């Protein structure tokens, strides 16, 4: 391993903002509110938060331990820490997951790019039939591909600049901007007429809606939202310096991610409840069909406010998507450039090209290839299913078992305490979560799903 040539994050803030940038994405602003809307509001949020801190955060810390100890990409990390053992299969699945997730995620990010530009260029006007607009666009054979390609090239440009000058600098600029946009939007949304109803939907738990399948979606959502289970954070942690505090950084990332997800609900639901006849349970169409309609209605007579609000909302979604796609791209780019001993630029081009082609297949599954099914699913749903239902939970179990049971206990403790220089509160509780709660919890839910 050419360790001397590997990048390094420059500051502790950079570490937290880059990891939070990976975590905060479409998963928070698009997927989380649509899951909350479908699964009964606050009850889902409570279950979700338990999983974030009891299952996903321990796995995140385990990824940090593997990455910083090995200082290698996701596959080589296992080769370094467990030479000659089959653990590196976990890393290979992580790289595969990175390719699949970037492929289908960039399709949705491409839609977001189109909605952002249309909103800013005043091409979204109230009175349009947004369901038809969305379905005509997403099923068009080439238009979504153009937006997807442009988005992938934006990701590419950041990744090729490297860890500190590209990923860290971009995250340090974008994450604070993102938080400011969120606060402005929450403020506007809370002053809307439907704010009270929207808030009570978000804050009053209805536990009758929490079925076993809702519990499973909450776990899937927690892993997806925190980017854990695929080794994305192993790759990032391989760029952490010796002074980075693994446990407190992971805790900060989980808090930032959860706050952003919940605030996204505070942005969306007051707006949704401000328009009579609009339901909060539209699912994935919430952001691309329901919201443009809602924006048009809520801001009738206040076109400037409406323009600023909806423009900021889609810019927020776009930036959040971008800070996440750079981390997916990085998993695969780091692996290829170190494995094939080629330049970062060359590796990044391979990743961009492959993900564009696979992403094109996902995009076409909404139109021209809607009849092409594998295991009964189009490519988009298939990739999503493979990542969220298999690669992430199984990867999460393997990562927790690797650090909790396989790795030398002293080494793990030394990573968690920065060679004994830090006092980490609840260290034994944390080890218990990594050894038992995370693997058993995820395995039970995974098996339950498999058997049903």
| Contact footprint for ligand PFF (CB under 6 A) | 22-23, 25-28, 101, 224-225, 227, 230, 232, 324, 327-328
Question: Residue 205 pairs with which residues in a beta bridge?
Answer: 41
Nearer to ligand PFF, 227 or 352 (CB): 227
Nearest alpha carbon to residue 269 among 277, 280, 259 = 280
CA–CA separation, 81 and 416 (whole Å): 16
To ligand PFF, the closest distance from the beta carbon of 37 in angstroms equals 17
C-alpha 240/C-alpha 67 separation (Å) is 8
Q: How far is the CB of 223 from ligand PFF (least distance, A)?
A: 8
CB of residue 332 vs ligand PFF: minimum separation in angstroms? 10
219 token code pair: 């776990």
Residue 424 beta carbon to ligand PFF: minimum distance, rounded to whole angstroms: 25
Minimum CB–partner distance for residue 225 and ligand PFF (Å): 4
The tokens 């091409």 sit on which residue? 123
Tell me the C-alpha distance between 117 and 444, whole Å.
44
Q: Whose structure tokens read 């952001």?
A: 287
Long-range contacts of 333-339 (CB under 8 A, 24+ apart): 333/159, 334/73, 334/74, 334/235, 334/238, 335/73, 335/74, 335/75, 335/76, 335/91, 335/95, 335/235, 338/1, 338/2, 338/72, 338/73, 338/76, 339/73, 339/75, 339/76
SS3 244: coil
| Nearer residue to ligand PFF within complex by CB, 63 or 299 | 63
**Could you give the 3-state DSSP secondary structure of residue 198?**
helix
Which of 34, 324 has the CB closer to ligand PFF?
Answer: 324
Which pair of structure tokens corresponds to residue 431? Answer: 């080890």
**Based on CB atoms, which residue is closest to ligand PFF, 23 or 66?**
23
Number of alpha carbons in the 13 Å side-chain half-sphere of residue 46: 12
Residue by residue, DSSP assigns 300-329 as TT-HHHHHHHHHHHHHHHHHHHHHHHHHHH
d(CA 328, CA 31): 17
Q: In this complex, which beta carbon is closest to ligand PFF, that of residue 98 or of residue 194? A: 98
Say how far apart CA 254 and CA 20 lie, in whole Å: 8
**Would the CA dihedral through 365, 366, 369, 373 be positive or negative?**
positive
* Cβ-proximal residue to ligand PFF, closest one: 27
Q: How far is the CB of 22 from ligand PFF (least distance, A)?
A: 5
351: tokens are: 């990743």
Smallest distance from ligand PFF to CB 204, Å: 25
Task: Tell me how far, at minimum, the Cβ of 19 lies from ligand PFF, in Å.
Answer: 10
Q: Which is nearer to ligand PFF, 224 or 379 (CB)?
A: 224
Any idea which residue has 């505090």 for tokens? Answer: 245
Q: How many CB atoms lie within 10 A of CB 162?
A: 15
Decide whether 138 or 227 has the Cβ nearer to ligand PFF. Answer: 227
Q: How far is the CB of 435 from ligand PFF (least distance, A)?
A: 24
Least distance CB 260 / ligand PFF (angstroms) = 9
Min dist. Cβ of residue 111 to ligand PFF (A): 14
Of 63 and 76, which has the nearer Cβ to ligand PFF?
63
Query: Tokens for 366?
Result: 């909404």
Integer Cα distance of 150 and 153 in angstroms: 5
- Residue 134 or 224: which CB sits closer to ligand PFF? 224
Which CB, 227 or 258, lies closer to ligand PFF?
227
State the nearest-atom distance from the C-beta of 224 to ligand PFF, in Å. 5
Beta bridge partners of residue 377, listed in sequence order:
374
Q: Which is nearer to ligand PFF, 199 or 226 (CB)?
A: 226
Nearer to ligand PFF, 293 or 379 (CB): 379
């Amino acid at each position: 391993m050419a360790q001397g040539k590997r990048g390094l994050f420059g500051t502790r803030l950079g570490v937290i903002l880059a990891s939070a940038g990976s975590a905060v994405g479409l998963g928070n602003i698009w997927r989380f509110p649509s899951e909350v809307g479908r699964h009964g509001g606050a009850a889902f949020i409570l279950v979700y938060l338990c999983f974030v801190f009891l299952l996903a955060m321990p796995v995140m810390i385990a990824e940090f331990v593997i990455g910083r100890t090995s200082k290698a990409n996701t596959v080589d990390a296992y080769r370094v820490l467990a030479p000659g053992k089959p653990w590196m299969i976990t890393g290979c699945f992580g790289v595969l997951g990175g390719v699949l997730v970037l492929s289908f995620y960039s399709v949705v990010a491409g839609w977001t790019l189109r909605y952002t530009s249309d909103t800013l260029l005043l091409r979204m006007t109230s009175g349009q039939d947004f369901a038809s607009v969305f379905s005509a666009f997403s099923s068009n054979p080439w238009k979504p591909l153009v937006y997807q390609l442009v988005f992938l090239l934006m990701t590419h440009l950041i990744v090729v600049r490297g860890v500190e000058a590209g990923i860290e600098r971009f995250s340090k600029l974008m994450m604070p901007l993102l938080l400011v946009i969120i606060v402005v939007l929450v403020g506007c949304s809370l002053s809307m007429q439907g704010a009270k109803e929207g808030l009570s939907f978000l804050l009053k738990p209805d536990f009758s809606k929490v079925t076993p399948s809702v519990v499973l979606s909450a776990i899937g959502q927690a892993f997806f939202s925190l980017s854990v289970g695929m080794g994305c954070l192993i790759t990032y942690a391989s760029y952490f310096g010796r002074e980075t505090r693994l446990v407190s950084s992971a805790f900060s990332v989980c808090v930032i991610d959860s706050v952003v997800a919940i605030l996204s609900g505070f942005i969306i639901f007051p707006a949704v409840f401000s328009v009579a006849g609009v339901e909060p349970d539209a699912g994935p169409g919430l952001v691309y069909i329901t919201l443009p309609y809602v924006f048009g209605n809520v801001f009738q007579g206040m076109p400037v406010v409406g323009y600023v609000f909806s423009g900021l909302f889609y810019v927020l979604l776009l930036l959040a998507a971008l800070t996440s796609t750079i981390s997916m791209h990085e998993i695969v780019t780091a692996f290829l450039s170190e494995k094939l001993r080629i330049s970062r630029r060359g590796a990044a081009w391979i990743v961009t090209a492959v993900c564009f082609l696979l992403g094109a297949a996902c995009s076409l599954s909404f139109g021209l290839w809607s009849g092409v099914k594998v295991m009964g699913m189009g490519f988009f749903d298939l990739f999503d299913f493979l990542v969220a239902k298999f690669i992430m939970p199984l990867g999460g179990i393997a990562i927790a078992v690797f650090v909790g049971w396989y790795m030398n206990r002293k080494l793990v403790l030394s990573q968690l305490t920065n060679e004994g220089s830090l006092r980490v509160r609840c260290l034994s509780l944390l080890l218990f979560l990594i050894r038992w709660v995370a693997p058993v919890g995820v395995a039970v839910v995974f098996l339950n799903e498999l058997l049903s």
